[in-house]
Amino acid sequence: MNQLDALKQFTTVVADTGDFRQLAQFRPQDATTNPSLILKAVQKAEYQGLLQDTVRKHRGEPLDMVMDRLLVRFGGEILSVIPGRVSTEVDARLSFDTNGSITRAERIIALYQGEGIHVDRVLVKVAATWEGIAAAARLEQRGIHTNLTLLFSFCQAVACGQAKVQLISPFVGRIYDWYKKSAGAAWDEAANAGVNDPGVKSVRQIYNHYKKFGIKTEIMGASFRNVGQIQALAGCDLLTISPELLSALAASEPPLPRLLEPEAARSLDLPAVNFDEAGFRFALNEDAMASDKLSEGIRAFCADARKLDALLQAG
């Protein structure tokens, strides 16, 4: 049994791509997209027609509506290949706008429903800012399930659990990137690999807290830089993995042990933790890595959304 098949025995494998033609070979349960992945896909020759067709059919509509139609078009194509859910992202430019995020999420769901796709097959991705978490809490109450993205800190995860969101996506690789860059020449790759990887340690802390206190929110590790990070999180609820790393797992034969166990987490002696808005903002501010990566991630997604806007206008 290869490591990809072994991983599927205790973790839901999710494909992290907008390239739906790659999906079938890996047989993932779910798939995730974001503005950067969609931008990457539409610049490939095989997807040019899809972008142009979307623009042609909806010429004259507001640009943000055409953008959502394009995202839903990709999501629908992905759902024709996978049995589970697709994650589609609210424009990152609404990351600090609770009401705007709710309105956009509801529109995305309405567009999916217009294509005959049930609400339960879609997770709406929202940035894990305080405003985004507040939006997600209200969306969940309305039956729209959410995936809180750009999550780098324990306080973000705790607040998402309190909000009863469906799923969170802690960004393993970007946490690793920050600590490696911060350490500079002093970074010891071997000493910070596997279960000692700072991104892996962050997800393990969240996993243990959620399982200990019976928090139902699903944990989906994301943004992996290497196979070792994935192996160290075997047993996490879900892991969303790029096609390149899915291929590497499929080509690897050594046994893959389960390293995260809910029963083991429930036996731990951990303190209960809760955050109000002031406590959340202070805790996030105290975490330099999380503050830096959240701001950087929002800026990057906004930049790619603007590039998509330009392609839609040109199309």
In this predicted structure, the answer to whether residue 198 has a pLDDT above a threshold of 90 is: yes
Please give the model's pTM, rounded to 2 decimal places. Answer: 0.97
Catalytic residue, candidates 8, 125, 180, 201: 125
pLDDT computed for residue 35 by the predictor: 86
3-314 to CATH, choices 3.40.30.10, 3.65.10.10, 3.20.20.70, 3.10.400.10: 3.20.20.70
Q: What is the pLDDT of residues 236-262, one digit of tens each?
A: 999 999 999 999 999 999 999 999 999
For residue 238, the one-letter residue type is L
Q: Compute the average pLDDT of residues 283-298.
A: 98
Q: Compute the average pLDDT of residues 164-192.
A: 98
Q: Compute the average pLDDT of residues 101-108.
A: 98
Q: Compute the average pLDDT of residues 271-298.
A: 98
Instruction: Name the nearest CA neighbour of 152 among 202, 89, 80, 226.
Output: 202
As a whole number of angstroms, the distance between CA 305 and CA 298 comes to 10
Residue 181 appears among annotated catalytic residues: no
Q: Concatenate the DSSP letters of all residues of 26-83 into one string.
A: G--SEEE--HHHHHHHHTSHHHHHHHHHHHHHTTTS-HHHHHHHHHHHHHHHHHTT-S
pLDDT computed for residue 82 by the predictor: 97
Question: What own/partner pairs with CB < 8 Å and gap ≥ 24 does 173-180 have?
Answer: 173/199, 173/222, 173/223, 173/224, 173/225, 173/229, 174/199, 174/223, 174/293, 174/297, 175/199, 175/202, 175/289, 175/293, 176/225, 176/229, 177/225, 178/289, 178/292, 178/293, 179/289
In this predicted structure, the answer to whether residue 292 has a pLDDT above a threshold of 90 is: yes
As a whole number of angstroms, the distance between CA 170 and CA 156 comes to 9
For residue 291, the one-letter residue type is S
Triad 46, 52, 57: Cα angle to 5°? 135
Q: What is the pLDDT of residues 120-142, one digit of tens each?
A: 999 999 999 999 999 999 999 99
